[in-house]
Structure 1
């Protein structure tokens, strides 16, 4: 597969193949993920990345929302998952003020 990727020509796109994506991801052959998130809750379904998927970090490079609420996100692989926290930064002064107002209003 990597020999095919190295050849000149058009990009290859895989649409909706949960089994093939596992093989390509394990071999580091995916350059870009285009993931569409639909605003519905089904309660079950097949996972995009199965239990044996190799952990790796992704970076969001583009995102837009359709008129029907579908979120279309484009991610690129960026290697190993960095160690450390993924927590949010300290809240802004405006956010702290909003929280204080909510606490006062609730009493």
Structure 2
């Protein structure tokens, strides 16, 4: 669920969806949902669902980097670590050099 609904927010496939077509597939068994303003339109449900999805990972996140490496979901969710962008797709989308400090090349 993309709460911010920013177009291409670092992911080449990210875009707001509509209530008529709220989801689209981004991978095998992965559906992307980003109905713009759904958190304000359905604030209680959105808050509940996001909280339910995040709660199982809070202890791992609170334990720090060593714990993050032991959890596949958390480690795959890290996009920036110590100021270094981890996801090459973000760098490509933003036209940045893969080497830190990721200078703009496009």
Quickly name the TM-score band, shorter chain normalised.
Answer: under 0.3
Instruction: Find the structure with the greater CA-based Rg.
Output: 1
Question: What TM-score comes out, normalization by structure 2 length?
Answer: 0.20
Larger strand fraction of residues: 1
Task: Name the TM-score, length of structure 1 as normaliser.
Answer: 0.20
Question: Greater share of helix residues, 1 or 2?
Answer: 2
